[in-house]
Amino acid sequence: MAYIIGDDHEGKFIDTSVAFTDGDQALNAFLAKTRAHPDSIVKATWFSGTQIPPEVVPTKARITEGDTLYDWRTVDGGPTLVSARFKDCVEALDPGRHGFFPLIVEGREGVVRPGPYFLFNVVGCIESILEADSNFIVNGRGFVPNWGFERARGPWKCAMDAAVIGDRACWTELRYSGRWFVSDRLAAALREQGLSGFELKEFCEEVSI
Residues 6+ apart with CB under 8 A from 194: none
Q: What is the spatial order of strands in the sheet that 80-83 belongs to?
A: 17-20, 60-65, 99-106, 117-121, 80-83, 72-74
- Cα separation of 163 and 157, whole Å? 19
Q: Residue 83: what residue type?
A: S
pLDDT band at 1, cuts 50/70/90? confident
Segment 59-83 mean pLDDT: 95
Q: Residue 122: what residue type?
A: V
Backbone CA torsion sign across 161, 167, 169, 172: negative
- Cα separation of 86 and 81, whole Å? 10
DSSP structure class, residue 113: P
pLDDT band at 78, cuts 50/70/90? confident
* DSSP string for 137-197: EEESTTT-TT-EEEEPSSS---EEEHHHHTT-SEEEESSS-S-EEEEHHHHHHHHHTT--S
Cis amide bond preceding 38, omega within 30: no
Per-residue model confidence (pLDDT) at position 22? 86
pLDDT digits (tens, 9 = 90+) for 150-163: 999 999 999 999 99
